[in-house]
Amino acid sequence: MPVGSIAKGKALVTGGGSGQTLPCAICHGATLKGLGEVPGIAGRPPIYTVRQLNDIQNGNRTGSLAELMKAVVAKLTIEDMVAIAAYLDPSSRRPAAAEFAPSRKYSLGFAEAAGHSRTRGGR
């Protein structure tokens, strides 16, 4: 796995990078284990994840639900996909589960309840 891949994957998955994509938790759920009809993406083998992202981007995977992923993959490079897949596979990084907690940016309610001030765009 290229150096820095997991950190890059994390930035893309949790924050959408710098506009390349959208934070995955919006649709895939805070734990990335799926939400309603949206499948889980955490813990899949990287090769599977890259394949799906690539298939959606190049139109090999279609359907009304796949349409929702079009904007997500539109600007991703294959390196971005590999980085995302590496981050999503717990066996390629430690610690695993804690990393899937929603970033504070997307859990303003909880952050406030816990007494933290509202931070926007924080890292």
Give the footprint of ligand HEC on this chain (CB under 6 A). Answer: 12-13, 21-22, 24, 26-28, 38-39, 41, 49, 52-53, 61, 63, 65-66, 68-69, 72, 84
Q: How far is the CB of 85 from ligand HEC (least distance, A)?
A: 8
If the CB atoms of residues 62 and 112 are measured against ligand HEC, the closer one turns out to be 62
Sequence-ordered alpha helix ranges (H) in 22-104: 25-28, 46-57, 64-73, 78-88
> What is the phi-psi region of residue 10: left when phi exceeds 0, alpha when psi lies from -120 to 50, beta otherwise?
alpha
Handedness of CA 97, 100, 105, 111 (dihedral sign): negative
If the CB atoms of residues 63 and 115 are measured against ligand HEC, the closer one turns out to be 63
Q: How far is the CB of 110 from ligand HEC (least distance, A)?
A: 20
